[in-house]
């Protein structure tokens, strides 16, 4: 059934997806994820980094959130030198178009005319940004065709803008053509996610990857995005580890991405030492982020993430017919039949293993880092989406704070960022937050190295 699910999902993607590829990240890469609020407040980039943190523990990279909520491509262009190039990336991803394709304008009688002009203006600014990127051959570019606007879900009567999805689709085509013309890497979120929504809504009209407002994916949607990105990088079907042994012959048959030793086989037990090169991916089971209601793990119902990215297989053949308890470092993990062990047990699905518990700590440290980074992104929103228009970019003085307080009374977005700005305007606070993020990242790469474990199977009497 799992294989059939993968085949059906793969064929669904292939009928709607542009040819895409993105080279895997390399040690030392500094990757800036550039975009709008879906990047700014979203998790897909931190999920991607978490995969690298756990699957490639000895290959340190650095990922940056370079999204700002509400940005159209002209605003992205306006802050690019400072906010993107300033991070000194050697890789950047770029996604835009959700805000460029309008909202309430579509209700106006002349909405099509207005939006045609606006989108033409977006193409103009993108052309300027494209020229800027062409002048930086030292930076690898990855165009991301962004997650779709969900016009068809029945779960939310609000934020339904007729013709927006058509306009956004045309922007997506424009972006794909640009990536092809320039020879840049490209990852397609748009068509696969649209295909998932169409498939799921055929079964449940209330389904949506963007249930809150048709625009912003929830945590499950962001894992779908991370899945699509990692897949485009060719990282699918790279096991956490794959161990196979023959109990009757007392020998290992396979040890992929790991080292095994000290095999001991008796009449009622099997034991060996196990050191993997990777850790399992620790799926989150609580909602994260403001306004989100869904869990990252809910994406497992939508894409075969576990099958393709989280396989830590233990296969033991020719055990005497019985049930066997699995212990790791002397701690009971559960019991399975000899036939189940012969078919293979995925240790990555057992959250109590010491290696999974190790990975959870990395996830939680990464979440702390993500949360701090959000404060800095909210600060950048205030600078570029509000203060710059008041000729107060980076002034951060009392006059700037007074202006924020004044406009917060009538602007809900300024009001929502007011308290954060009251702290972030002080460089000492921003520097402290950056140091804390650096310390969290250092800690992640200090504790993410797999450890040797003793795996034991004991016959249940």
Dump pLDDT digits (tens) for 223-249.
Answer: 999 999 999 999 999 999 999 999 999
Over residues 26-35, mean pLDDT: 98
Predicted local distance difference test score (pLDDT) of residue 6: 44
pLDDT band at 20 (very low <50, low <70, confident <90, very high): confident
Over residues 340-348, mean pLDDT: 98
Give the Cα separation of 372 and 377 in Å (integer): 9
CATH architecture entry for 2-232: 3-Layer(aba) Sandwich (3.40)
Contact 364, 436 (CB under 8 A): no
Over residues 152-161, mean pLDDT: 92
DSSP H or E segment with residue 134: helix 111-134
- The class level of CATH for 241-358+449-459 reads mainly beta
Answer whether residue 11 shows pLDDT above 70.
Answer: no
pLDDT band at 413 (very low <50, low <70, confident <90, very high): very high
Predicted local distance difference test score (pLDDT) of residue 156: 84
Answer whether residue 377 shows pLDDT above 70.
Answer: yes
Predicted local distance difference test score (pLDDT) of residue 8: 46
pLDDT tens profile 77-117: 999 999 999 999 999 999 999 999 999 999 999 999 999 99
Give the Cα separation of 391 and 296 in Å (integer): 41
Taking all residues of the chain, what is their mean pLDDT, rounded to a whole number?
95
Q: Is 184 exposed, middle or buried (0-12, 13-18, 19+ CB in 10 A)?
A: middle
pLDDT tens profile 132-150: 999 999 999 999 999 999 9
Predicted local distance difference test score (pLDDT) of residue 14: 44
In the chain, where the domains are located: 2-232, 241-358+449-459, 360-447
Please spell the DSSP secondary structure of 47-92, one letter per residue: HHHHHHHHHSTTS--EEEEEE-TT--HHHHHHHIIIIIGGG--SEE
**CA dist list (Å): 3 to 6, 281, 303, 349:** 5, 21, 12, 18
End-to-end CA distance of the chain, in Å?
A: 33
Residues near 109 by Cβ (< 8 Å), separated by ≥ 6? none
Contact 324, 457 (CB under 8 A): yes
**CA dist list (Å): 82 to 123, 280, 431, 437:** 22, 37, 17, 20
Decide: helix, strand or coil at residue 212.
Answer: coil
Predicted local distance difference test score (pLDDT) of residue 17: 58
Percent of the chain, pLDDT > 90? Answer: 94
Answer whether residue 4 shows pLDDT above 80.
Answer: no
Percent of the chain, pLDDT > 70? Answer: 96
């Amino acid at each position: 059934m799992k294989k059939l699910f993968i085949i059906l999902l793969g064929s669904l993607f292939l009928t709607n997806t542009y040819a895409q590829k993105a080279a895997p990240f390399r040690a030392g890469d500094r990757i800036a994820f550039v975009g709008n609020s879906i990047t700014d407040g979203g998790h897909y980039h931190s999920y991607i980094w978490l995969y690298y943190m756990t699957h490639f523990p000895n290959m340190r990279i650095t990922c940056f959130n370079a999204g700002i909520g509400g940005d159209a491509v002209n605003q992205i262009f306006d802050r690019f030198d400072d906010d993107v190039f300033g991070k000194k990336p050697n890789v950047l991803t770029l996604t835009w178009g959700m805000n460029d394709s309008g909202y309430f304008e579509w209700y106006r009688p002349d909405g099509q005319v207005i939006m045609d002009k606006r989108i033409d203006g977006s193409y103009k600014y993108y052309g300027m940004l494209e020229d800027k990127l062409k002048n930086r051959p030292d930076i690898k570019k990855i165009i991301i065709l962004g997650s779709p606007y969900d016009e068809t879900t029945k779960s939310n009567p609000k934020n339904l803008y007729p013709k927006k999805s058509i306009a956004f689709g045309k922007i997506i085509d424009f972006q794909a053509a640009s990536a092809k013309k320039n020879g840049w890497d490209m990852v397609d979120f748009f068509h696969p996610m649209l295909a998932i929504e169409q498939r799921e809504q055929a079964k449940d009209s209330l389904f949506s990857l963007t249930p809150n407002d048709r625009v912003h994916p929830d945590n499950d949607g962001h894992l779908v995005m991370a899945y699509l990105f990692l897949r485009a990088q060719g990282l699918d079907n790279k096991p956490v580890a794959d161990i196979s042994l023959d109990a009757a012959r007392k020998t290992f048959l396979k040890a992929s991405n790991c080292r095994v030793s000290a095999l001991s086989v008796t009449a009622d037990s099997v034991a060996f030492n196990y050191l993997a090169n990777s850790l399992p991916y620790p799926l989150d089971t609580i909602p994260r982020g403001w306004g989100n209601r869904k869990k990252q793990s809910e994406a497992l119902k939508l894409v075969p993430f576990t099958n393709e990215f989280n396989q830590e297989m233990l296969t033991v053949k020719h055990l005497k017919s019985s049930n066997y308890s699995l212990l790791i470092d002397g701690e009971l993990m559960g019991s399975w039949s000899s036939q189940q062990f012969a078919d293979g047990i995925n240790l990555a699905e057992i959250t109590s293993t010491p290696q999974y518990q190790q990975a959870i700590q990395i996830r939680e440290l990464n979440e702390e880092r993500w949360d701090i980074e959000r404060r800095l992104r909210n600060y950048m929103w205030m600078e570029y989406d509000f203060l710059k228009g008041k000729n107060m970019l980076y002034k951060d003085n009392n006059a700037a704070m007074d202006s924020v307080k004044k406009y917060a009374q009538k602007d809900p977005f300024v009001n929502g960022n007011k308290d954060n700005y009251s702290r972030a305007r002080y460089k000492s606070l921003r520097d402290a937050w950056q140091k804390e993020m650096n310390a969290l990242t250092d800690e992640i790469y200090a504790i993410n190295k797999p450890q040797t474990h003793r795996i034991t199977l004991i016959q249940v009497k």
